[in-house]
Every structure is written in C-alpha cells, then in structure tokens.
Amino acid sequence: MRKMSPKILLVNPDVPANSPWGLSKMLPPLGLAYVAAALEKAGFEVEVFDNYAFKKDASYLKSLVEKHQPEMVGISCNSVTYRQCVEMAKVVKETNPSCKVVVGGPHPSYMPETMLQHPEIDYVVLGEGERAITELAVLAAEKKLESKATRKVAGIAYRHDGKIVKNAPKFIENLDEVPYPARKLLPMHLYDRKFAFLGVDPVDTMNVVRGCPYKCAFCENRRLWGDMCRLFSPARVADEVEHLITSFQTRGIYFVGDNFTINRNWVLKVCELLRKRDLNVEWICDTRVDLVSKELLRAMKQAGCRTIWFGVESGSPRILNKLNKNITLDQVVNAVKLCREEDIKIACSFMLGIPGEKLEDMEATLKFAKQINPDWCRFNIYIACPGSTLYDEVIQKGLYDRMDDFLAYVKTEDFNYEILLKIQQRFHKEFHCSPKRIINQLKRKIIHRK
C-alpha cells in the first residue's frame, strides 16, 4: 500500500551527558512506539530514532533529516530530556525549515509554554499522543495545518497571533482502538531484555493501564492520563502477550505503569486468559500495597506473576501523610506477608529527601525496610519534577539548591543533595549487606531450588 504524505520521523532524545539519569535501565520508548503505530495505522510512513539507545551527536540527526526528508518530526520529552529535545528541534529546523516539529510526553504536557517559547517547536501534544498527532498529520496531508481546523484538534497547544492556544485533551475511551506499539521500528537488540526479578529472558514491556485516581503529592501522572483509570480489555492484553511471544520471542513481561491491580475483576480475567491460552510467560507488575488480596495474588501467581514492585515510599507515617500516599505501614506489612504466602517476590522503592523530612524519618525508612525485608529494595533520592503538588511547594518555598532545567534538587535545614547521596549509600550498604539478609537470601534460594 502506498504510504501517505507527510513522512514522519519520531525521535527519543538522550539524557544529558554526565547526568545521574542515564544510569537506569535501557528500556524501549513505549510512548513513542504507540504514537508510531497510530500514525502507521492511519497510513503514514514513519521512522523512529531512539537516541537514548544510539547516543549519537547532533550531526547524526541532521543526516537522518537530510536522508529521509521528513515533513513532520515528533520528539518525545520528559523533564530530564527537555534540553536535548529543544536542541533536536533546532537541528531539524536548521536542516529543513519547512518541517513541522511536534513535541509530546510528560514535560510538554505539564509545561507546554516552556516548549513553545522556542520558535523551532510548532506544536505540543498534551497527554495521550496517539489521536492528537494523527489528527495533526492528517491536517498536514490536507495542507490545512495553518487553518481554523487546527482549533478543533483536542489535546494540542500552539502559537497563534502571538499567543499560546491550548485545546483541552480528550482521552481515548476505548483503548483497544490503539494498535500495538510499533516495536518493529525500534532497535530491540539495544535494550535491556534481562531483568533480575525474572528467571527468564528476553523480557519486554507492556503498558495496559492508563490514568490514576490517587493523589500522591510527588506524582503528576494523573495530569498526563487523567484521574479515571482506563484499561485495555483482557482479551487485548492476552493478544498482545501472544504477539510478543511469536514476534519477539518474549518470555517475560514487565507491565510498566501505575496500579496494575486497580480493578480486581479485570486482573482475574487477564490471569484466566493467560492461563487458558497456556502462554507460559513470567511477569512483573507495579502496584499499591492496598490493592492486593490473597485471592488476587494466587490467581496472579498461577498466571505467571513472579515479582510485584510496590511503591512504599517511606517508613515514617508522618512522611507518608505528607506524600498523600494514603497507605499505612500495616498495609505494607500485610501485602508483603500475602506475597510471601503466595510465593511472589517483592521489590520495594522508598524515597529519601522529602521536604520537611528529618534524619529520624529516613532512619525509620531504613528500619522498616529491614523489618519487611523485600527481595529487592531501592532508596531513591527525591528530585522534584514539574506537574506535582510537591513540586509547586518546593519551588514556592525555594526548597532547592540546584536546578537542572526544571528538576529541583531538594534541600532543607537538615539535608541537601550531597548529604542525601551519603545517606543513600549507607542505606543501600546496610540493607543489602547485613549478615541476616545474606543468610535469608541464601535460604530462599535453596528453598526455591527444591
């Protein structure tokens, strides 16, 4: 089938050089792959360039624009990659001034003005990207981008008559309309497809839940996806798992995103389908401690769930309250106990350096982590990201001593980033190297082998 014009290049920028953000796992840019798939479904010719994986300099993007001659370039952007995103937009416009530049992702969705202050960026997509960029591409194909029709595209921001126009987003009601992410356009060989939490590989990522009704002070995700939880249908989830197995030899899945277990009946149905179709994959998911039960965990284990990643955040009730996390330490203890009973491994993440936090709160976190003794545990230093209520507080009260573009490194009377780094190192050492933990880990391994 002949592809429609405009030809579109989608780009994922790298993280800044020497930043602490490059250290985490190298996973495929799922959001960009969804956007690519939606554009392909509408008939457009799409290329994807993941520079987080390739790590090329600006001249490489220039050569790509010269070679492929795209008429539209879409760039993914979060608050960490903001600067790289703007640099890439400049390279595109310098190489081809008539090419339209569209940016999307978390940062542009919360702070569209910070993107549109750069003349090289023509459009910002707010939130969910699939529908809005496809509508923009259709308008470009019909040469109607500069017409009144642009006003009707939901979920975009752009400059008009010297002002910024923002069209409110409209979420996709039936997520099954969204095609599978176009993983075939990604350099799959460059990603980390082995996970410590699973005994099988290759492992691939899927995102099956969009939106979150909770109001954690440190997270702004509901502004991206809305506060209503939307789910891909259980059949669609099982179909995509099957597609991954046949097309990418996938044996493990990481269901990324918030609250995999938010809808009990949906989880039970997904598990039933995975079992009935005998798909034989192992998987990990992220969820909250107050969203699991014995019945659910049993079904999940039978369907291949091996590890659950819980955001516990703090061992201090005072700080949990400040974070508006709406969980209790008893609920954490209970969730850990239930997972152990069902033989599901537990990974926990905690945060250090919340505004108002004292050293005694952080020590309570370490003590609590040792008490519940998860199989994996991370103590992350809190860096305030735009869009959340806690970020607004940090900025208003000036509770930071370093700012990387929009990311605020929190400081209080008790700590700054350097002190937090030392506390973090000590916590990781104390948690992972205690003799009791090493013996317990060995015991678990032996029991597991039997």
- The residues of the shown chain that bind ligand B12, judged by CB under 6 A, are 10, 15, 21, 24-25, 27, 29-32, 34-35, 52, 74-76, 78-81, 102-107, 125, 128-130, 133, 207, 219-221, 224, 256-258, 385-387
Q: Of 16 and 43, which has the nearer Cβ to ligand B12?
A: 16
Which residue, 333 or 421, has its beta carbon nearer to ligand B12?
421
- Give 252's strand partners: 203, 282
Nearer to ligand B12 (CB atom), residue 45 or residue 272: 45
Tell me the closest approach of the beta carbon of residue 299 to ligand B12, in angstroms.
Answer: 23
What is the C-alpha separation between 234 and 107, in angstroms, rounded?
Answer: 30
Minimum CB separation of residue 34 from ligand B12 in Å reads: 4
Is 128 or 342 the residue whose CB approaches ligand B12 more closely?
128
Q: Which is nearer to ligand B12, 200 or 256 (CB)?
A: 256
310 — phi, psi (to 5°)? -105, 135
* Shortest Å distance, C-beta 24 to ligand B12: 4
Residues 6+ apart with CB under 8 A from 275: 302, 303
Least separation, in Å, of the C-beta of 36 and ligand B12? Answer: 9
**Considering the complex, what minimum distance in angstroms separates the CB of residue 33 from ligand B12?**
8
Rounded least distance, CB 191 to ligand B12, Å: 8
Q: Between 37 and 338, name the residue whose CB sits nearer to ligand B12.
A: 37
CA pair distance 414, 420, nearest whole angstrom? 10
367 or 402: CB nearest ligand B12: 402
Q: Are 412 and 400 in contact (CB under 8 A)?
A: no
Q: Are residues 354 and 319 in contact, defined by beta-carbon separation less than 8 angstroms? A: yes
Nearer to ligand B12, 139 or 299 (CB): 139
Distance CA 383, CA 116 (A): 25
Least distance CB 279 / ligand B12 (angstroms): 21
Nearest-CA neighbor of 377 among 324, 434, 439?
A: 434
**Neighbour tally for 94: CB within 10 Å:** 12
**Smaller CB distance to ligand B12: residue 70 or 338?**
70
**Among candidates 85, 79, 81, 78, which has minimal Cα distance to 101?**
85
Tell the smallest beta-carbon distance from residue 317 to ligand B12 (Å).
Answer: 23
CB-CB contact of 274 with 244 (8 Å): no
> In the β-sheet with 123-125, what is the strand arrangement from edge to edge?
44-50, 4-12, 72-76, 100-104, 123-125, 156-160, 163-167
Query: Please, what's the b/e burial string for 248-275 (b: 16 or more CB within 10 A of its CB; e: otherwise)?
Result: eebbbbbbbbbbbbbeeebbbbbbebbe
* Residue that is written with structure tokens 């700012």 in the block: 403
CB of 23 to ligand B12, least distance (A): 7
3-state secondary structure of 412: coil
* Rounded Cα–Cα distance for residues 448 and 450 (Å): 6
Q: How far apart are the C-alpha atoms of 290 and 61, rounded to whole Å?
A: 46
